[in-house]
């Protein structure tokens, strides 16, 4: 499976949306240089309170541009970075990847997929109705979270729009993504 990075974003503050940039730098074991969520241990405020020593499984947030297309068609004015993602991709079924998938970004950087982003009420504060728009149900009635995936940086590097993405699946059996 191949894809491409269409946008990169970061925010030094704990803001909901992140500023689109020409380039970001991924730091191994930490995340996106200059981003508020950078760190080996949890940085998301809701996760720091119960146990600040937990490993940071949410160093990098990725969203597929196809979700933006879907949301725009439904009347939501969203662009890359608006929902807090660091990397926006196109051409990869991020939600269908198993835990442990390695995303090779360009010639060196590697992000390991750790789980799903769990949508929260901040989406509705940004645009009313957005949270419901990023949730769905499958044929069995199971909840589908479409707000992207989270990952950790295994190998650092610089990422920019146009960077190719190569998917490396982990050894079977595969574990389905769950919220992290």
User: What pLDDT band is residue 104 in, cutting at 50, 70 and 90?
Assistant: very high
Per-residue model confidence as pLDDT tens digits over 109-166: 999 999 999 998 899 999 999 999 999 999 999 999 999 999 999 999 999 999 999 9
What is the pLDDT at residue 52? 81
Q: Which residues contact 139 (CB under 8 A, 6 or more apart)?
A: none
Kindly report the pTM of this predicted structure.
0.96
CATH architecture of 2-168: Beta Barrel (2.40)
pLDDT > 90: what percent of the chain?
91
What is the pLDDT at residue 65? 98
What is the pLDDT at residue 112? 98
What is the pLDDT at residue 11? 97
What is the pLDDT at residue 123? 95
Q: CA 8 to CA 22: how far, in whole Å?
A: 7
10 Å CB burial of residue 17 (0-12, 13-18, 19+) is: middle
CB 136 within 8 Å of CB 144: yes
CB 112 within 8 Å of CB 97: no
Nearest one of 27, 22, 30, 32 to 62, comparing CA atoms? 32
Residue ranges of E strands in the chain = 2-10, 19-21, 24-27, 31-32, 60-64, 87-90, 102-105, 109-116, 135-137, 143-145, 149-155, 157-159, 164-168
Task: Assess whether pLDDT exceeds 90 at residue 46.
Answer: no
Q: Is 152 helix (H, G, I), strand (E, B) or coil?
A: strand
What is the pLDDT at residue 44? 74
Task: Give the chain's mean pLDDT.
Answer: 95
């Amino acid at each position: 499976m191949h894809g491409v990075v269409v946008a990169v974003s970061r925010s030094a503050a704990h803001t909901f949306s992140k500023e689109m940039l020409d380039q970001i730098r991924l730091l191994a074991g930490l995340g996106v240089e200059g981003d508020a969520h950078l760190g080996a241990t949890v940085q998301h405020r809701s996760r720091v309170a119960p146990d600040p020593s937990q490993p940071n499984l949410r160093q990098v947030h990725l969203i597929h541009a196809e979700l933006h297309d879907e949301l725009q068609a439904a009347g939501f004015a969203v662009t890359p970075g608006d929902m807090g993602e660091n990397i926006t991709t196109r051409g990869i079924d991020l939600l269908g990847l198993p835990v442990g998938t390695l995303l090779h970004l360009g010639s060196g950087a590697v992000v390991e997929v750790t789980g799903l982003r769990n949508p929260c009420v901040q989406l509705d504060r940004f645009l009313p109705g957005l949270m419901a728009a990023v949730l769905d149900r499958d044929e069995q009635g199971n909840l589908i979270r479409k707000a992207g995936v989270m990952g950790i940086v295994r190998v650092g590097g610089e990422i920019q729009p146009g960077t190719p993405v190569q998917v490396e699946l982990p050894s079977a059996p595969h574990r389905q993504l769950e919220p992290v």
